[in-house]
Structure 1
Amino acid sequence: MSQVLHTPPSTPAQAEGDLAALAARHGLSVSGARPSLPEYVRQLWARRHFITAFATAKLTAQYSEAKLGQIWQVATPLLNAAVYYFIFGILLGSSRGVPDYVPFLVTGVFVWTFTQNSIMAGTRAISGNLGLVRALHFPRAALPVSFALQQLQQLLFSMIALVVILFCFGIPVSVSWILMLPVLVLQFVFNVGVSMVMARMGAKTPDIAQLMPFILRTWMYVSGVMFSITKTLNHTHLPYIVKRLLEGNPAAVYIDLMRFALIDSFHAKQLPHHVWAYAVGWALLAGVGGFIYFWKAEEKYGRG
């Protein structure tokens, strides 16, 4: 009587292991899997031309239906500055004791608008572009980076108007204007990092985009956009920790550094201690931390 050999049935775990081994043997990988961090950086750098072109196209299309077209890139922040000047400079008297208040205010408005619009655009970077996210394979970080780059391009257009305003108020070109470059680089890195954090949060909870205008408006009011933080701190009795938080506020740091670079009457004594350390620290914390935080959810964007 012959014996029949029976192969024991494989368990689901064994079958999955066999499939994984087969896929690895033929160089296959999981679709949509998150790449390693160095590989992700390499992929993002490889798409740098797409990021630049996408940002430029978005900026060009932003006012394409308006009759004045790209003039609104400069007119919008100028109109905001005019409103703030009327309310805070004239009605509330914030201009008293602040030399060159109009350049002071316009610089603050332009620099703040750069951060504000970058974060707002970043919040909707994934949730507002689901069609693109689901249709094409690319590192999703390209979206918040491109939106921040779009806002940087718009700021550079606005700086033309700012330079004209500086000349109109008798502020000459100075060697300190070179400091604009490192300030803009550090602020851009900070904006990109925060945009990535908000992009991940906005992708999971789209309602955050409705809450952000209120948060950003509150942040603006404590960032010295319309008033001098140094003057305010010298005339108020606030707890020590509150004063340090106001001085170390990243938005206020970048605004004050830009004012120091451009306006002769804004002296170094009006800057907080270790201001450049603050500027570099916020850029590294937000830029590196925000990038890693965004990368960790790469495979989840556009799902569900």
Structure 2
Amino acid sequence: MSETTHDSAPPRDVPLAELAARHGLSVSGARPSLPQYVRQLWGRRHFIVAFSQAKLTAQYSQAKLGQLWQVFTPLLNALVYFLIFGVLLGGRGGMDNSEYIPFLVTGVFVFTFTQASVLAGVKSISGNLGLVRALHFPRASLPISFSLQQLQQLLFSMAILVVIVVSFGHMPSFAWLLVVPVLALQFVFNAGLAMVMARWGSSTPDLAQLMPFILRTWMYASGVMFPLRHMVETRANWPSWVADVLSANPAAVYMDLVRYALIDGDYRDTIPAATGLYALGWALVVGIGGFLYFWKAEERYGRG
């Protein structure tokens, strides 16, 4: 009986990796180079926008008031904070209602933008494993899409914020145009932070349970409900450098810049001159750094 030979059989002494490279094969799900990844992400830009809009539409689909809860939720939070900090605890810092109420509502809306982006980012991979495992696409699309969803939600709220600000006597001016670049920088910061949280949340699902407590602490340390510098230096009698450090944290930075743009009053004079530079720095460091940090683990998402 004659032996049958197979000329196409690979030599036994050739490493599999070398053999695969010779025939143009690559590892399934391998991380692409950074330029390739950016190009892939840009190619999915329509998916990112459509996915964010679909999530936004579905968010309150079971509620009778539907999308109105996008505005009602932060307004109700602002009402609670007004009763507690503005009335009961006297945390106005000398501001009357015409300045404190726009100050408070602006802080709640702007901080909620970051808070919601972080919470959505934590679960953007772990909560969409079916999508991650079924389709091949740059995984950064998910946390960026969730951050974009929160930006769209904030824009709905901004219409109500404008009505509140004007109704308390703060008329439109050229300073209002500052809101556009500030929110753009905040979006970059939020997206970068969401990508960091997405990577952590993909390997540690319990982080989603811990984040609300961390974010609540961050909210109190950022002056959402009260003028931060007044509370630190006057009420707590702490050194002024403590107020400088707290005022430089990103949540306080973006809130203060939006307040500076929309609200006239003495509070403007308490905002450090370097706040704009802080806003740019936080956006670049966290936005770019978060993207690179997320990309480094691209091949690990959805496995295990």
Calculate the TM-score normalised by the size of structure 1.
Answer: 0.92
Output aligned runs, 1:138-149, within 5 Å. 138-149=137-148
Query: What is residue 33 of structure 1 aligned with on the other side?
Result: 30
- The residue type equivalent to 1:78 in the other structure is L
Q: Tell me whether 190-199 or 164-173 shows the greater mean CA deviation.
A: 164-173
Please say if 1:155 is aligned against 2:154. Answer: yes
**How many angstroms apart in 2 are the aligned matches of 1:266 and 1:242?**
21
1:1-304 mapped onto 2 (5 Å cutoff): 14-16=13-15, 19-99=16-96, 100-235=99-234, 236-239=236-239, 241-265=241-265, 267-304=267-304
Q: Following the alignment from structure 1 to structure 2, what is the Cα–Cα distance between the partners of residues 135 and 176?
A: 47
The 2-side partners of 1:123 and 1:180 are apart by: 27
Residue type at the aligned position of 1:256: D
Deviates further, 44-53 or 26-35: 26-35
User: Is the CA contact 2:232–2:242 (under 8 Å) kept in the aligned structure 1?
Assistant: no
Aligned partner of residue 14 in structure 2, secondary structure? helix
Q: Check conservation: 1:98, 1:228, Cα contact below 8 A.
A: no
Please provide the CA RMSD for this pair. Answer: 1.6
Distance in 1, Cα, partners of 2:73 & 2:162 = 16
Given that residues 180 and 261 in structure 1 are in contact (C-alpha distance below 8 angstroms), is that contact kept between their aligned partners in structure 2? Answer: yes
Contact kept, 8 Å, 1:108 with 1:225, in 2: the verdict is yes
Unaligned runs of 5+ in 1: 1-9
Structure 1 Cα separation of the partners of residues 168 and 246 of structure 2: 29
1:94 positional shift: 1.1
The one-letter code matched in structure 1 to 2:72 is A
Give the percent of matched residue pairs that are identical in Structure 1 and Structure 2: 67
> Do the aligned partners of 2:82 and 2:101 also contact (CA within 8 Å) in 1?
yes
Distance 2:41 2:239 in 1: 44
Residue 168 of structure 1: how far off its partner (Å): 1.4
Amino acid at match of 1:167: V
**1-structure distance, mates of 2:176, 2:32:** 41
Give the Å deviation of 1:269: 2.1
Letter in 1 for 2:141: A
CA gap 1:136/1:266 in 2 versus in 1, 3 angstroms? farther
Q: How many angstroms does 1:166 deviate by?
A: 1.2
The one-letter amino acid paired with 1:291 is F
Matched residue of 1:15: which SS? coil
How far apart, in 2, do the equivalents of 1:173 and 1:267 lie? 17
Asked if the contact 1:259–1:266 (Cα under 8 Å) also holds between the matched residues in 2, the reply is: no
CA positional deviation for 1:241: 4.7
CA contact (8 A) 2:124 2:143 kept: yes
The alpha carbon displacement at 1:249 in A equals 0.9
Change (3 A) 1:173 1:240: closer
Deviation at 1:85, TM superposition (A): 0.5
Evaluate the alpha carbon distance shift between residue 268 and residue 82 of structure 1 in structure 2; reply closer, same or farther with a 3 A threshold. Answer: closer
Matching residue of 1:4: none
Q: Structure 2: where are the runs of 5+ without partners?
A: 1-9
Alpha-carbon distance in 1 for matches of 2:182, 2:240: 27
Q: CA deviation at 1:148?
A: 0.3
CA distance in 2, matches of 1:228, 1:221: 11
On the 8 A contact 2:229/2:243 being kept in 1, the answer is no
If the length of structure 2 is used for normalisation, what is the TM-score? Answer: 0.92
> Per the alignment, in what secondary structure is the counterpart of residue 138 of structure 1?
coil
Equivalent position SS for 1:227: coil
Question: 2:172 aligns to what SS in structure 1?
Answer: coil
Deviation of the 1:293 alpha carbon: 0.6
Per-residue Cα deviation, 1:48-75 (whole angstroms, up to 9, x for no partner): 0000000000000001111111111111
SS at match of 2:264: coil
